[in-house]
Amino acid sequence: MKMISRIPLPKLLKCILRQLLCLFAIMAYTYGVTHGSVLKLSSDILFQAECYHYLFDAAAIKLHHLGLDWSTPDHGPIQNVKGFSSINSVIKRVATKVGTVDSNFKLQPYPRCIVLDIEGTTTPISFVTDVLFPYARDNVGRHLSATYNSAETQDDIKLLRSQVEDDLKQGVLGAVPIPSEDAGKEKVIASLVANVEAMIKADRKITALKQLQGHIWRTGFENNELEGVVFDDVPEALEKWHALGIKVYIYSSGSRLAQRLIFGNTNYGDLRKYLSGFFDTAVGYKRETRSYVEITESLGVDKPSDMLFVTDVYQEATAAKAAGLEVVISIRPGNGPLPENHGFKTINSFLEI
């Protein structure tokens, strides 16, 4: 140590060295190792640590456990000095690529993946019910007429025919027969419009409807008639998670096309650069546990608990939890009430994650 002290180091480097030496001593004390083993232990720590910030955070936490003040040169007992916030406030702000430190000074690892719902989670429910749905309803006839002979629209019509046939068998309210092509384009479109309007009114989460809606909304976004809306905290949180290397995915009953349109054309610009993928009802319905099992398997996480699912719907939260995912419920303006004693952690902002 005397040889090191003779080296003309800059002031900053001396501070770093002092913190490292303090950490070495703490680890020796904590683990009960001998003086001769300190150097080897320190070397192991340096090899395993992800960055110097992590070492300093660990040193601060260990010092606090010992009742010592990390901010003073001699690391004396913790004192409440006016103008200097306690170590608690500092430690709570600690963030590394490993995780965050909770109120008990324990490191809580970040999830490997975060899966977000849209309606009531990233985006106000009112945007969906008062903007997107009415736009699709008011433009379905025009869209079908303008694109009737395209392969895409013919595929949409095929899906709708199949869905309506099932609805008629089950006696679904609002379902009306769709005539064959021989009846003429106008009659086919009129029956399709009637069925789609009934489906939208009932807020049905079915692929046939969601696929057509996505194609209608695409025209709206392309013509600057629509703009996606997200809550103010969403862009900042997405950027933060992206910087930490956390993969973020969207799972919504809306089609993947619709999801990309919303996040690609938001009031905060194109947010798709922060997203790693999109899931829709093709993977399964959101209130079914199997859907979340499919997502975890497709993403290849080591265990379901590596994934955090954020939703505003209790039934979706329950299904995801049954699949082993970590779950939090989003509390946003306009969201529906939750059951009493639902047992899930709730957040009012993504910045709480």
pLDDT score of 347: 98
Percent of the chain residues topping a pLDDT of 90 = 68
The H or E element that residue 61 is part of is helix 52-65
Average pLDDT over residues 307-333: 98
Q: How many domains does the chain have?
A: 3
Q: Per-residue confidence at 97, pLDDT binned at 50, 70, 90? A: low
Q: Per-residue confidence at 111, pLDDT binned at 50, 70, 90? A: confident
Mean pLDDT of the chain: 82
Per-residue pLDDT tens over the stretch 20-63: 555 555 555 445 544 444 444 444 444 444 444 444 555 555 55
pLDDT score of 40: 47
Q: How many CA atoms lie within 13 A of 350 on its CB side?
A: 26
Per-residue pLDDT tens over the stretch 270-306: 999 999 999 999 999 999 999 999 999 999 999 999 9
Tell me how far the alpha carbon of residue 149 is from its chain's centroid. 39
Residues 166 and 72 in one domain: no
Domain containing 275 equals: 113-122+227-352
Residue 175 · residue 192 · CB < 8 Å: no
The total number of residues written for the chain in this structure? 353
Residue 60 · residue 12 · CB < 8 Å: no
β-partners of residue 345 are 328
Per-residue pLDDT tens over the stretch 123-177: 999 999 999 999 999 999 999 999 999 999 999 999 999 999 999 999 999 999 9
Residues 118 and 253 in one domain: yes
Residues 156 and 284 in one domain: no
* pLDDT: which is higher, 80 or 118: 118
Residue 230 · residue 271 · CB < 8 Å: yes
Has residue 221 got a pLDDT over 90? yes
Q: What is the CATH number of the domain that holds 174?
A: 1.10.720.60
Residues 215 and 299 in one domain: no
